[in-house]
Structure 1
């Protein structure tokens, strides 16, 4: 009789059927994720494990254990910079240009330190942050130490997941093989590798709203979550939005009204990145673009306690946008 593989018990816990299975505890999820990160899991086991979690929907305790293990495996610099906002970017844009990037750069230009991280290329036809930043002349960081250096000397750094955790990047790339996204897409967003004071989150499907907040609570994070545009952290200005907060363990939510008429919410027929440069320089002032980027900035300002109401946050965001240096895109080489 062959000996049972050490990873098999974790699959059994979650896969014994609707009556006998249960979610992993935080410690079990940490142990299972540690084995995955150390490449101690058979590919068949990994596929089964990921698909069971995907079908059943991820559990906050599992997410916290997953993130515990990932953070234990990070190659972090000995001295971390002070970071104001952790900004995950994992979905890519398909209907509108990534206006949120201009909002992030404007906030950085105003003195707010932002660590953005994400992936690219996992879904055909989408425009991802790393590609867009390169087109704007902004070089992504190449490691967590490089990102820390950029944030020490400036206020913005982007780092791809492949440089944070190559194993997690390979799992996300399995979408082409499995046909569905995996739990890594949900929880990689919450790693907060440089211990930012605030964590920005968004969801596409409402069912994930509380998963993100419950997991953040277990991790002791200060965060907010809202329904973004196409899975990216970007305000949809033609729609009202509910923003849910977790501040010092206390939960609250605010309903933000639409700031734009629906007629202005047309899709971009051509995803022309050069338009972003024109918007920054002030030669393109399309109402949707300006409302989307300032609306996103406003939610960030509210999370960071730089405004007492959504209205004040929106006014401050618009003032920061107007005060930007239109001549030069920040951190472009």
Structure 2
């Protein structure tokens, strides 16, 4: 390509960077094409940085989130025989103020017979506890491929696959955060990847104003069930000391928006200064009782059940969640004693 020849990817940068009066959102088709080009290595570093930051400045549209996720899905090497997966659980934020109680929500759901695929990444923000660290502490495996994840789902109804296994290029793009100084759209659409085509997709976010974007993307992608809410630290974890607004979509139907009540009377929860993972084991086995942890765990299960269509109301979902937690096998999975 000569200096005078326009680079094929430059058209996408131009769409986003033409100024306030001429810039526009990428269409679903443009977004998908752009992401496929990025993942094939068909853009130069300058274009990647400009593209990501122009999107960040403009803020992503549902068509872009959906297109980027679909473009990434097209690159996955999927198993020939996909196992049935009930819940896709994204985990990309990490925890720094409270322990990752969502992990016990997931294990309780699995113990109750629901298959769960988790996916995420770690290390992009210092000082946080990520899912992979928790799994290693608990002695649970981390899949090295989607084939391996599928096999673990068949055997144990649970698997965790890192983003770098699904797409090393996306992991590299997320790791540009300290270089660019801001998060990129990769943090948003990675939560929507649903690599094994689960029936229900659970999404936790941190920033306000993104729930309608994720809901719109889920509609465009034809997701059977999707639930998104502002979770503690940005993870799929209900904050029991605050009301929680949940956006749910079912296919291309209009989103259902519900505000779940605050579960604890005291709205202030002090930060966990130690973040000792042993407490996860102690709460699971019943050795320790913690009202915040219990409310977070069962509250998260309730939102998930409601999103799945298993409960006809918030009250019914809360009751079912309590039953699932109470019925857990305290020796299920190789939890440390």
TM-score when normalising by structure 1: 0.97
Q: Distance in 2 between matches of 1:263 and 1:9?
A: 49
- The aligned residue for residue 244 of structure 1 is 247
1:280–1:329 CA contact under 8 A, matched in 2 = no
| 5+ residue gaps, structure 2 | none
Q: Aligned match of 2:307 in 278, 303, 309? A: 303
| 5+ residue gaps, structure 1 | none
1:139–1:332 CA contact under 8 A, matched in 2 = no
Matches within 5 A, 1:104-183: 104-183=106-185
Pair 1:11–1:104, CA change in 2 (3 A): same
Q: Distance in 2 between matches of 1:16 and 1:97?
A: 44
Please, what is the CA RMSD of the aligned residues?
A: 1.3
1:264–1:288 CA contact under 8 A, matched in 2 = no
- The aligned residue for residue 214 of structure 1 is 216
Q: Aligned match of 2:75 in 63, 73, 76? A: 73
Q: Which stretches of structure 1, 4 residues or longer, exceed 3 Å deviation after superposition?
A: none
Pair 1:19–1:55, CA change in 2 (3 A): same
Q: Distance in 1 between matches of 2:266 and 2:241?
A: 5
SS of 1:139's partner is coil
Q: Count the aligned residue pairs.
A: 332
Deviation of the 1:329 alpha carbon:
4.2
SS of 2:190's partner is helix
SS of 1:199's partner is strand
Deviation of the 1:2 alpha carbon:
2.4
1:199–1:224 CA contact under 8 A, matched in 2 = yes
Could you list the per-position Cα deviations for residues 174-216 of structure 1 after superposition, in whole angstroms to 9, with x for gaps in the alignment?
1111111100000011011100001111222221111100011
- The aligned residue for residue 234 of structure 1 is 237
Q: Distance in 2 between matches of 1:167 and 1:202?
A: 23
Matches within 5 A, 1:1-333: 2-221=4-223, 222-250=225-253, 251-262=255-266, 265-326=269-330, 328-330=331-333
Q: Distance in 1 between matches of 2:64 and 2:306?
A: 29
Deviation of the 1:265 alpha carbon:
2.2
Deviation of the 1:264 alpha carbon:
6.7
Q: Which moved more, 1:20-29 or 1:291-300?
A: 20-29
